[in-house]
């Protein structure tokens, strides 16, 4: 909710000079030194950690520039956490890129209320009407206007190394007891059961959210956040206790609270851990990414999060739309930026399936495409989903999400009790409403 505004004769002259300079810079950006208009585009898929995504983005940008020779797209790439930090800084100084990536719901509320993001209903109705999977574009709408065009649809699943499981006679667990047996067996044999990079904290939130879903049902967490329920609901406290039970078992690798998600992923992909809970945006690493050894890709499968103490529905998922594209409200090239964003969404929908094996937010004809078995299995799971609970830190406002993420790390680090964990978040939510 940030607003900025900007007078003696000296000040007025200074202001005129600034305005003149500003107009000059604006014209330069809009027309460019080569006569081209420049669209600044910032995304969060670096070549190192998201190679296929990175290459698809570059190909889409090249295709757009080829079709629009009067436009240049200036691309900036940052890692996930760097991206979030820079978006805040650029927003504060009113220098958002013309097109960028945002998450839905609570994450984008400050940007919308601060008039930083432009409504995109006009370009959606013109170019993308009825092309989004129901519920995905709606997640980017506030007060009847849509401020983001979704690119992805994800669910989180537990990927596991079948070769390691086979070596120790283990099967994909369907109950929490079976899951604990897997954890104990792997640990007893010197294998880190679960790769977790909880320095990023949203990674630990996935484990907590699934335990809450299984113990309390699919709507317990959402109700606590929308204030029709409480974060001190016994099921949410019980889920926190289960997290600390897993910590006590040694379920996560040593030092997990100080490792990033990329470091944890690296452990899993090097065969140093048996399981890894992550969103299906990681599917390419286990299916189509030829930079990953085929032997490893063939050894990976996934299972839906097990039931807990006889409770829960394994067809209930944590997930939802991933990132979407926004257009800056103060863009000097807003119409070109909207046109590029719409072009990107269309191109992404097809290329992300065929080139990367990720699930787009736009509708696809899966039957007409040659897709990896794991990809088809995920699509089938999505078709049978009884519930998809949106990621907690995306549902929450940025301030409450900060409390949630800090509490997640404290919970996994056993620096708070489950009761304190729940109380802190209940107080943060109650204070906001």
- Please check whether residue 348 is in contact with residue 323, taking contact to mean a CB–CB distance below 8 angstroms: no
Nearest partner of 104 among 46, 154, 60, judged by Cα: 154
For 422, half-sphere exposure in the C-beta direction (CA atoms, 13 angstrom radius) is 22
| Residue ranges per structural domain of the chain | 37-153+320-380, 155-318+390-430
Q: What is the mean pLDDT of each run of 10 residues along the chain (433 residues)?
A: 30 32 45 78 90 91 96 94 92 96 91 96 90 84 94 93 98 98 98 97 97 95 94 98 98 96 95 96 86 94 97 93 94 97 92 81 76 85 84 90 96 98 97 81
Contacts of 131 (CB under 8 A, 6+ apart): 346, 349, 362, 363
Are the C-beta atoms of 4 and 12 separated by less than 8 Å?
A: no
**One fold for 37-153+320-380 and 155-318+390-430:** yes
CATH no. for 155-318+390-430: 3.40.190.10
For domain 37-153+320-380, the question of CATH label 3.20.20.300 is answered with: no
Beta-carbon contacts of 176 under 8 Å, excluding residues fewer than 6 positions away, are: 214, 242, 306, 307, 308, 309
- Which pLDDT belongs to residue 33? 58
pLDDT of residue 34: 66
In sequence order, the 6+-apart residues with CB closer than 8 A to the CB of 6 are: 15
pLDDT at 22: 38
């Amino acid at each position: 909710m940030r607003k900025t505004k900007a007078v003696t004769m000296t000040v007025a002259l200074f202001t005129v000079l600034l305005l003149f300079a500003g107009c000059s810079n604006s014209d330069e950006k809009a027309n460019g030194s080569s006569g081209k208009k420049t669209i600044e585009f910032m995304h969060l898929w670096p070549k190192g950690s998201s190679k296929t995504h990175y290459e698809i983005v570059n190909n889409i940008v090249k295709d757009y520039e080829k079709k629009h020779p009067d436009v240049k797209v200036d691309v900036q790439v940052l890692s996930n956490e760097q991206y979030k930090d820079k978006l805040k800084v650029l927003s504060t100084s009113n220098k958002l890129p013309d097109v960028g990536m945002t998450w839905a719901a609570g994450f984008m509320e400050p940007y919308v209320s601060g008039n930083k993001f432009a409504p995109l209903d006009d370009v959606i109705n013109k170019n993308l009407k009825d092309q989004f999977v129901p519920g995905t574009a709606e997640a980017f709408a506030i007060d009847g206007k849509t401020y983001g065009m979704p690119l992805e649809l994800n669910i989180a699943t537990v990927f596991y190394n079948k070769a390691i499981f086979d070596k120790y006679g283990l099967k994909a667990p369907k109950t929490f007891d079976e899951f604990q047996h897997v954890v104990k067996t792997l640990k007893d044999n010197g294998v880190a059961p679960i790769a977790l990079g909880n320095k990023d904290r949203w990674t630990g939130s996935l484990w907590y959210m699934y335990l809450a879903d299984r113990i309390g049902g699919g709507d317990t967490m959402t109700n606590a956040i929308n204030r029709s329920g409480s974060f001190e609901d016994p099921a949410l406290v019980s889920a926190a206790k289960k997290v600390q039970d897993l910590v006590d078992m040694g379920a996560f690798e040593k030092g997990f609270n100080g490792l990033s998600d990329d470091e944890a992923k690296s452990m899993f992909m090097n065969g140093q851990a048996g399981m890894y809970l992550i969103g299906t945006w990681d599917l390419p690493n286990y299916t189509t990414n030829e930079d990953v050894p085929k032997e490893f890709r063939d050894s990976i499968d996934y299972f839906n999060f097990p039931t807990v103490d006889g409770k829960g529905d394994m067809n209930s998922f944590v997930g939802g739309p991933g990132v979407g594209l926004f257009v800056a409200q103060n863009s000097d090239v807003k119409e070109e930026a909207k046109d590029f964003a719409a072009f990107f969404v269309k191109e992404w929908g097809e290329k992300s399936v065929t080139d990367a094996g990720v699930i787009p937010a736009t509708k696809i004809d899966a039957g007409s495409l040659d897709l990896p078995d794991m990809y088809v299995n995920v699509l089938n799971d999505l078709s049978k989903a009884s519930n998809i609970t949106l990621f907690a830190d995306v549902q929450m406002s940025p301030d409450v999400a900060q409390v949630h993420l800090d509490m997640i790390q404290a919970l996994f680090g056993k620096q708070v009790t489950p009761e304190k964990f729940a109380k802190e978040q209940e107080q943060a939510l109650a204070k906001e409403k």
